[in-house]
Amino acid sequence: MKIDYPISLEKARELVKEDILDVIKEAYKLRKKYKEDRVFTCSIINAKSGLCKEDCAFCAQSVYHKTDIKIYPLMDEEEILERAKMMKEKGATRFSIVTSGYKLKDREISKVCKAVELIKKEVGIKVCASLGMLDRNTASKLKDSGLDKYHHNLETARSYFQKICTTHSYDEDIETVKMAKESGLEVCCGGIIGLGENWDQRLELAFTIRELDVDSIPLNFLIPIPGTRLKDMPLLDPLEAIRTIAIFRIINPEKDITICGGREVVLRDLQSWIFLAGANGIMIGDYLTTKGRNIEDDIRMIEDLGLKISES
């Protein structure tokens, strides 16, 4: 299989029908070339949960859905700090503060900035945040606090977005990604696979992310949550998920690709294949409203593959 880089949309469409082992082989070569055998491990804290006024079809934290999640305001800085310490001890190389809602208020941003400062001082771990929409002033405050990276997902392709969310525009998400980049922050931007999108829309997302030139691409796989609009969506096939990872690597050969929520349920016994398919990062521990896999099992999986957990 011969590919000229950067890959064209037409060639990417061919990969959807190519033998999956050939696609994986190409993605594996790219991961080895640009990332060698280094793997980073992300972890998150759901620092503010529920009561989100956005209507994202997949989300248990939306006020439009009736779910049994815990609802609470923004955590205190010390509680966030203690979680960061715990996750570093368990093997995380990155720690992200995640909050529900369209955007945070100024007083909440100040609290997050204080938490970032404490973590950078006392834990020594790469700190990320996912706090909703950004303006220039907020982005500057976060950068000045020592935040390393800002996370803001597009979730899906522009052409499918209205099927998933109607309470804000795709352009608002794009603008937040650009604002974070302009402030000097590294940027993490990806989406959720298996929302009902077709392959062309999946490729559209991958190429949009390539155009934005972000640093890291997190890929989640939908777990249908009771009470949400997508509660009856069927799970993605494991090999389709693996092919998706590989194609995202081929479209974005030099970027970090992190596999996050849903992998335990969707990939089942194929979880170790994510690295063969080009991923070089994995989220460990629990997610926002769903449980993750045992952290020790994930660390052992990485080591059994001869990979090294490393940030550099």
Nearest CA to 39 among 83, 96, 97, 92? Answer: 92
**What's the pLDDT tens digit per position in 159-191?**
999 999 999 999 999 999 999 999 999 999 999
Domain assignment of residue 1, yes or no: no
Percentage of the chain surpassing pLDDT 90? 95
Does residue 28 fall inside a structural domain? yes
4 belongs to a structural domain: no
Reported as a pLDDT band with limits 50, 70 and 90, residue 132 is very high
Backbone torsions φ then ψ of 117, nearest 5 degrees: -60, -45
User: Per DSSP, what are the bridge partners of residue 43?
Assistant: 95
Q: What is the pLDDT of residue 311?
A: 77
199 assigned to some structural domain: yes
In this predicted structure, the answer to whether residue 113 has a pLDDT above a threshold of 90 is yes
Residue from 150, 119, 145, 146 nearest 134 by CA: 150
134 in any annotated domain: yes
Give me the mean pLDDT over the 76-93 stretch.
96
What's 41's domain CATH number? 3.20.20.70
The whole-number average pLDDT for the span 134-148 is 96
pLDDT-derived band at 290 (thresholds 50, 70, 90) equals: confident
Q: Establish if 141 belongs to a structural domain.
A: yes
The answer as to whether 3 is a domain residue is no
Tell me: pLDDT of 312 over 90. Answer: no
Peptide bond into 73 cis (omega under 30): no
**Residue 194 within a domain:** yes
Give phi and psi for 30, each to the nearest 5: -70, -40
Instruction: Give residue 292's pLDDT.
Output: 85
| Closest to 201 in 3D by CA, of 170, 177, 179 | 170
Express each pLDDT in 227-285 by its tens digit: 999 999 999 999 999 999 999 999 999 999 999 999 999 999 999 999 999 999 999 99
The beta strand positions in the chain, using DSSP E, are 38-48, 94-99, 126-130, 149-151, 186-188, 191-193, 216-221, 256-259, 281-283, 308-309
182: containing domain = 9-309
pLDDT value at residue 291: 78
Provide the domain count of the chain: 1
| Distance (Å, whole) CA 71 – CA 83 | 18
pLDDT for res 233: 97
DSSP character at residue 147: -
